[in-house]
Structure 1
Amino acid sequence: MRRRYDLTPSICIILALTTLFFVVFLIYPLLYVFKEAFWIENTFKLTYFKLMVTDPGIRTLVVNSFKIGVMVTLVTSIVSLPLAYFLTRYRYPGRALLRSVILIPMIMPPFVGAIGMQQFFGRFGSVNMLLVKLKLIDITETIDWFGGGFWGVVLLSTLHLYPIMYLNIVAALANVDPSLEEAAENMGASRAQVFRRITLPLMMPGYFAGAILVFIWAFTDLGTPLIFDYNEVIAVRIFRQVTEANANPMGYALVVLIIVLTALAFYVSKRWTGSKHYEMLGRGHVTSRETDTNWGMRSVIYLFIGGLTLMALLPHISVILVSLTPDSSQWRLSVLPQSWTFAHYVETFTHSDTLPSILNSLKYSIFSTLLALLVGVVVSYLLTRKRIPFQNLLDAVAMLPLALPGVAIAFGYLGSFADTTLLLRHLPDGIVSVLDPRQNPTFLLIISYSVRRLPYMLRSIYAGLQQTSVSYEEASQNMGATPMRTLYKITLPLVIANILAGAILVFSFSMLEVSDSLILAMRDQHYPITKAIWSLSQRPDHGAYTASALGVVGMLILIACLLGAGKVLGGKLGEIFRI
Structure 2
Amino acid sequence: MFETIRRTDDDEDRSAFGLFLLSGVIAVLVTSPLLWLFLRAAQVDPERAFSLVVSTRTVEILANSVGLMAGVTLLSIAIGVPLAVLTTGTDLPYDRFWTITAALPLVIPSYIGAFAFVRTFGSGGEVSEAIGVPLPAVEGFWGAVLVITLYTYPYVFLSTRAALLSLDMELVEAARSLNVSPIEAYRRVVFPQIRPAIAAGALLVALYAVSDFGTPAFMRVSVFTYEIYVEYGSFNVEYAALLSMQLLAVTAVILLIEARVGRDSGSTGGGRTARIRLGRWKWVAMTAITTIGVVTLVVPVAVFGVWALRGPDGSVPSLAFEWGMALNSVYLATLAAALACVFAIPVAYYSARSDSPLSRLFERATYVGFAVPGIVIGLALVFFGANYAPWIYRTVPLLVFAYVVRFLPQVVGTTRSAVLQVDDRLVEAARTLNAGPMETFRKVTLPLILPGVVAGGVLVFLTTMKELPATLMLQPIGVDTLVTVIWAAHETLYYQYAAIPALILVLISGLSMVVLLRQESGLG
Q: How does 1:75-474 map to 2 (within 5 A)?
A: 75-89=75-89, 94-129=94-129, 132=132, 142-146=134-138, 148-228=139-219, 230-243=220-233, 248-271=237-260, 278-280=265-267, 286-290=269-273, 296=279, 299-313=283-297, 314-327=299-312, 354-418=322-386, 420-421=387-388, 424=389, 432-433=390-391, 435-437=392-394, 440=395, 442-474=396-428
CA deviation after TM superposition for structure 1 residue 260, in Å: 0.5
Deviations 1:142-187 (A, max 9, x none): 44332x4223322221222122232322333344333322322223
CA deviation after TM superposition for structure 1 residue 252, in Å: 0.5
In structure 2, the CA distance between the partners of 1:450 and 1:129, relative to structure 1 (3 Å rule), is: same
CA deviation after TM superposition for structure 1 residue 278, in Å: 4.4
- Tell me the equivalent position of 2:5: none
- Tell me the equivalent position of 2:7: none
Deviations 1:57-88 (A, max 9, x none): 22211111222111111111112112223334
> What amino acid is the match of 2:49?
Y
CA distance in structure 2 between the partners assigned to 1:122 and 1:576 by the alignment = 43
In structure 2, the CA distance between the partners of 1:560 and 1:505, relative to structure 1 (3 Å rule), is: closer
CA distance in structure 1 between the partners assigned to 2:265 and 2:278 by the alignment = 35
- Tell me the equivalent position of 2:3: none
- Tell me the equivalent position of 1:538: 491
Q: In the alignment, does 2:20 pair up with 1:37?
A: no
The equivalent position to 2:22 in structure 1, one of 17, 25, 33, is 17
In structure 2, the CA distance between the partners of 1:180 and 1:560, relative to structure 1 (3 Å rule), is: closer
Gaps of 5+ in 2: 1-9
Q: Report if aligned partners of 1:100, 1:574 keep a CA contact under 8 Å in 2.
A: no
CA deviation after TM superposition for structure 1 residue 416, in Å: 2.0
Q: In the alignment, does 2:49 pair up with 1:48?
A: yes
- Tell me the equivalent position of 1:551: 502
CA distance in structure 1 between the partners assigned to 2:282 and 2:199 by the alignment = 29
CA distance in structure 1 between the partners assigned to 2:162 and 2:301 by the alignment = 28
> What amino acid is the match of 1:526?
V
TM-score normalised by the chain length of structure 1:
0.79
CA distance in structure 2 between the partners assigned to 1:363 and 1:25 by the alignment = 21
- Tell me the equivalent position of 1:484: 438
Q: Report if aligned partners of 2:351, 2:363 keep a CA contact under 8 Å in 1.
A: yes
| Percentage of pairs with the same residue | 25
Gaps of 5+ in 1: 134-141, 330-342, 425-431, 567-571
In structure 2, the CA distance between the partners of 1:51 and 1:359, relative to structure 1 (3 Å rule), is: same
Q: Report if aligned partners of 1:64, 1:232 keep a CA contact under 8 Å in 2.
A: yes
> What amino acid is the match of 2:122?
G
CA distance in structure 1 between the partners assigned to 2:362 and 2:276 by the alignment = 47
Q: Secondary structure at the match of 2:180?
A: coil
In structure 2, the CA distance between the partners of 1:74 and 1:559, relative to structure 1 (3 Å rule), is: same
CA distance in structure 2 between the partners assigned to 1:155 and 1:467 by the alignment = 42
TM-score normalised by the chain length of structure 2:
0.87
> What amino acid is the match of 2:33?
P
Which structure has more helix as a fraction of its residues? 2
> What amino acid is the match of 1:254?
L
Deviations 1:169-223 (A, max 9, x none): 2333344333322322223332222222222222222222222221121122111
Q: Report if aligned partners of 1:464, 1:498 keep a CA contact under 8 Å in 2.
A: yes
Deviates more, 1:82-91 or 1:260-269: 82-91
Deviations 1:237-262 (A, max 9, x none): 100122455x6311110000000111
Q: Secondary structure at the match of 2:366?
A: helix
Deviations 1:369-393 (A, max 9, x none): 1222222222221111234451231
CA distance in structure 1 between the partners assigned to 2:157 and 2:451 by the alignment = 23
CA deviation after TM superposition for structure 1 residue 448, in Å: 1.6
Deviations 1:29-79 (A, max 9, x none): 2122122223336xxx153243232x2222211111222111111111112
